[in-house]
């Protein structure tokens, strides 16, 4: 089982953001999830989609994933906001949505004015700090609907410009959605009271409004007007979703790090999470998982040491504030050391407004410890299963020893064309890609899998004998009696008939054994059958890979490819300039020389005269 499989199988059932990373260590996709484990595993387990273009992109994405990272949040709203921040920062190639420069909407209450207006805005930093900004909200349409419903209960002015005295009110006044401050229809105190109720509601103090809506819903249900009751039920749900709190954006531009940590009760692991906040946004996360097994662990000393080491390595980018759940005596020393690089740095416990972010940090630390423990358990189960499979191989197949090295072979061709062979190498039950080998079939152009298998096995073990390399403990060929007998004859010819060899036929998953008429059929849940299937399937995948490459080269190739000194660059230049090989043959030496130079041009003319 690969590290990526271990990671995704041990993901938490929590909301959060996941990041897919490729072999170049680049983030290629960022997404949010209500349940990280279910959402991430969908990419790997779902095989078909209604949209073929989407399906193709998903497959391309999955093929590029080497590892993944994640950040746990407290709710979906935080995940959505954090996803936006991370996508804007990393610009992953597979992300389309939210890569633009838009920010999330905020509700602005313009308290700097005599009659404060309420409007939905973006980029609150462009406005005066005397005003109040509530948010951000993840869905502009939804918050507009919420404000529209609030307006029916607490009318307010939403004009684009601040309130000025007029002789005639606007249409909103006629609809009773604006109290008419512009015509003096409401006193300043009464108007401010309305605005304060809206502010309290948007801050989450929604008891009064929800009570009114619940009464409306109950009255409609009592009169059997279920459609109206459902209407108010949906409004109530929308309001509750709209005002769910978030902690991933702050209304200050302070640079600070919030540190959370967690160790399991058996003190196997300690996880430390550092959430980096820059200009009021979560910009990144640093994490450490430390093994505590067999070590003396004192929380205050360990945490102080790790924090000191971490920040001493980033002296040029220290935050102004470091926030810890609690302050240890040893932290004072760390503070003094860091002040040499940043004199204004402070290390303190969280303020009330920062408690949500600290919860996120601690929650992520706990998840990391639990994931590490779960990964250990998964690895142990996987290793136990492999050990059982190898022991089963020794017993059932009468092997002299438990097979440490298993080599699997397969052939891939279409009617004998572009025939390729593969050899995969499994060490102690696990694939060892470094020793995988491809073979281009030399002896046969007609469809004869048995003869091709014979060639590949002979070439493989002739080379091992010649170079005195280590021989396998077991050989597995993809196929039945024909392929098995081909392998037996080669091993006998090379004097290697002591190496156990078997065949696995795909149709009924039968294991063919030398000198035994009937094959063995193992139960579907047999660890040995599962191991053999994995070897067989891996050999097949590897053979098909080269076969497709060969076929593509043949289909898209050109006679120019067979001319010495002509590579893809020269070939493309020539075909772009002349349009076809026939036109190249008609061209003069001077014309070809203008594209590739006189020396190569002479070679091309000479060789084309032979080929065409």
Q: Who wins on pLDDT, 314 or 258?
A: 258
- 98: phi then psi, degrees, rounded to nearest 5: 70, 25
Quick count: other Cβ atoms within 10 Å of Cβ 120? 15
- CA-wise closest residue to 500 among 530, 531, 476: 476
Please enumerate, as own/partner, the contacts of 601-607 that have beta carbons within 8 Å and a separation of 24 or more.
Answer: 603/563, 603/564, 603/565, 603/566, 604/560, 604/563, 604/566, 604/574, 607/562, 607/563, 607/564
Give the strand pairing for 346-348 and 321-323: parallel
Stated length of the chain:
612
Quick count: other Cβ atoms within 10 Å of Cβ 359? 17
Cα separation, 392 vs 54, in Å, equals: 43
The per-residue DSSP string of 324-354 comes to -SS--TTHHHHHHHHHTT-TT-EEEPPPGGG
Residue 205: band (very low, low, confident or very high) from pLDDT cuts 50, 70, 90: low
**Cross-strand bridge partners of residue 456:** none
Q: Among all chains, which residue has been given the structure tokens 């804007």? A: 88
Domain assignment of residue 430, yes or no: yes
Claim to verify: residue 170 and residue 49 sit in the same structural domain = no
The per-residue DSSP string of 531-559 comes to HHHHHHHHHHHHHHHHHHHHHHHHHH--G
pLDDT of residue 291: 83
Domain assignment of residue 249, yes or no: no
**Token pair listed for 541:** 């995948």
Domain assignment of residue 77, yes or no: yes
- CA-wise closest residue to 302 among 274, 328, 279: 328
Q: What is the pLDDT of residues 586-611, one digit of tens each?
A: 888 888 888 888 888 888 888 777 75
Cα separation, 278 vs 248, in Å, equals: 11
Q: What is the pLDDT of residues 518-540, one digit of tens each?
A: 888 888 888 999 999 999 999 99
CATH number, residue 454: 3.30.420.340
Claim to verify: residue 531 and residue 416 sit in the same structural domain = yes
CATH number, residue 29: 3.40.1440.10
The per-residue DSSP string of 257-272 comes to EEEEEEE-TT-SEEEE
Claim to verify: residue 309 and residue 419 sit in the same structural domain = no
Cα separation, 116 vs 245, in Å, equals: 24
Domain assignment of residue 591, yes or no: yes
Domains identified in the chain, total number: 5
Secondary structure element (H or E) that encloses residue 358, with its range:
helix 355-396
- CA-wise closest residue to 387 among 407, 408, 406, 402: 402
Average pLDDT, rounded, for the chain: 83
Cα separation, 408 vs 502, in Å, equals: 10
Claim to verify: residue 414 and residue 524 sit in the same structural domain = yes
Q: What is the pLDDT of residues 328-337, one digit of tens each?
A: 877 887 888 7
Domain housing 484:
405-543
The whole-model pTM stands at 0.56
Claim to verify: residue 223 and residue 269 sit in the same structural domain = no
Claim to verify: residue 228 and residue 277 sit in the same structural domain = no
Domain assignment of residue 605, yes or no: yes
Claim to verify: residue 303 and residue 266 sit in the same structural domain = yes
Asked if the peptide bond before residue 398 counts as cis, ω within 30 degrees of 0, the response is: no
Claim to verify: residue 299 and residue 338 sit in the same structural domain = yes
Residue 97: band (very low, low, confident or very high) from pLDDT cuts 50, 70, 90: very low
Domain boundary residue, one of 518, 543, 568: 543
Claim to verify: residue 449 and residue 473 sit in the same structural domain = yes
Cα separation, 558 vs 612, in Å, equals: 12
pLDDT of residue 391: 92
Sheet with strand 106-109: strands edge to edge: 118-121, 106-109, 132-134
The separation between CA 438 and the C-alpha centre of its own chain, rounded to angstroms, equals 31
Quick count: other Cβ atoms within 10 Å of Cβ 194? 20
Average pLDDT over residues 238-248: 60
Claim to verify: residue 420 and residue 510 sit in the same structural domain = yes
Quick count: other Cβ atoms within 10 Å of Cβ 200? 14
Domain assignment of residue 380, yes or no: no
Domain assignment of residue 398, yes or no: no
CATH number, residue 595: 1.10.150.20
SS3 content of the chain, % helix, strand, coil (to 5): 50, 20, 35
Secondary structure element (H or E) that encloses residue 122, with its range:
none
Residue 555: band (very low, low, confident or very high) from pLDDT cuts 50, 70, 90: low
Q: What is the pLDDT of residues 162-202, one digit of tens each?
A: 888 888 888 888 888 899 999 888 898 888 988 887 887 77
Claim to verify: residue 419 and residue 455 sit in the same structural domain = yes
Claim to verify: residue 535 and residue 454 sit in the same structural domain = yes
Domain assignment of residue 251, yes or no: no
């Amino acid at each position: 089982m690969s590290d990526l499989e271990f990671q995704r199988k041990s993901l938490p059932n929590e909301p959060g953001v996941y990041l897919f990373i490729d072999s170049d260590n680049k983030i290629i996709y960022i997404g949010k999830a209500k349940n990280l484990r279910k959402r991430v595993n969908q990419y790997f387990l779902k095989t078909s989609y209604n949209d073929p273009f989407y399906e193709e992109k998903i497959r391309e994405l999955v093929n590029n994933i080497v590892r993944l990272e994640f950040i746990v949040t407290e709710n979906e709203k935080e995940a959505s906001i954090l996803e936006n921040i991370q996508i804007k920062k990393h610009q992953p190639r597979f992300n389309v949505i939210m890569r633009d420069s838009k920010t999330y909407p905020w509700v602005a209450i313009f308290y700097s004015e005599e009659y404060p207006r309420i409007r939905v805005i973006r980029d609150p930093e462009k406005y005066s700090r005397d005003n109040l900004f509530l948010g951000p909200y993840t869905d502009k349409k939804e918050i507009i609907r919420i404000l529209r419903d609030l307006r029916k209960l607490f009318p307010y002015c939403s004009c684009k410009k601040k309130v000025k005295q007029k002789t005639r009110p606007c249409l909103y006044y006629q609809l009773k959605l604006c109290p008419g401050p512009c015509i003096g229809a409401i006193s300043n105190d009464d108007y401010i009271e309305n605005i304060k109720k809206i502010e309290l509601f948007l801050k989450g103090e929604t008891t009064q409004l929800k009570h009114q809506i619940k009464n409306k819903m109950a009255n409609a249900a009592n009169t059997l007007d279920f459609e109206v009751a459902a209407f108010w039920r949906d409004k109530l749900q929308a309001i509750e979703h709209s005002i769910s709190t978030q902690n991933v954006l702050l209304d200050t531009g302070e640079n600070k790090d919030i540190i959370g940590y967690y160790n399991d009760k058996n003190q196997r692991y300690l996880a430390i999470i550092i959430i980096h906040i820059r200009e009021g946004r979560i910009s990144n996360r640093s994490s450490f998982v430390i093994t505590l097994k067999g070590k003396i662990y004192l929380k205050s000393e360990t945490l102080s040491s790790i924090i000191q080491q971490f920040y001493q390595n980033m002296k040029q980018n220290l935050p102004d504030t470091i926030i810890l759940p609690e302050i240890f005596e040893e932290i004072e020393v760390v503070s003094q050391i860091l002040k040499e690089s940043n004199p204004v740095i402070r290390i303190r416990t969280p303020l009330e407004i920062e408690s949500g972010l600290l919860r996120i940090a601690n929650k992520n630390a706990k998840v990391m410890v639990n994931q590490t423990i779960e990964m250990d358990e998964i690895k142990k189960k996987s290793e136990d299963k492999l050990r059982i499979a190898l022991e089963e191989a020794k017993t059932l197949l009468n092997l002299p020893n438990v097979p440490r090295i298993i080599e699997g072979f397969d052939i891939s061709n279409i009617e004998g064309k572009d025939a390729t062979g593969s050899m995969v190498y499994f060490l102690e039950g696990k694939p060892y890609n470094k020793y995988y080998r491809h073979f281009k079939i030399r002896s046969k152009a007609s469809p004869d899998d048995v003869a091709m298998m014979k060639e590949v096995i002979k070439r493989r073990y002739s080379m091992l004998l010649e170079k005195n390399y280590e021989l396998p403990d077991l050989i597995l060929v993809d196929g039945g009696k024909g392929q098995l007998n081909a392998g037996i004859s080669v091993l006998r010819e090379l004097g290697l008939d002591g190496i156990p060899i078997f065949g696995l036929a795909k149709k009924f998953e039968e294991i063919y054994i030398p000198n035994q008429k009937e094959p063995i059929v193992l139960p579907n849940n047999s660890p040995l059958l599962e191991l053999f299937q994995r070897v067989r399937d891996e050999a097949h995948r590897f053979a098909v890979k080269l076969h497709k490459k060969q076929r593509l080269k043949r289909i898209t190739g050109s006679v120019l490819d067979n001319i010495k000194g002509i590579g893809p660059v020269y070939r493309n230049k020539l075909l772009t300039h002349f349009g076809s090989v026939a036109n190249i043959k008609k061209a003069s030496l001077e014309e070809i020389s203008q594209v590739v130079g006189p020396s190569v041009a002479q070679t091309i003319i000479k060789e084309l005269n032979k080929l065409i």
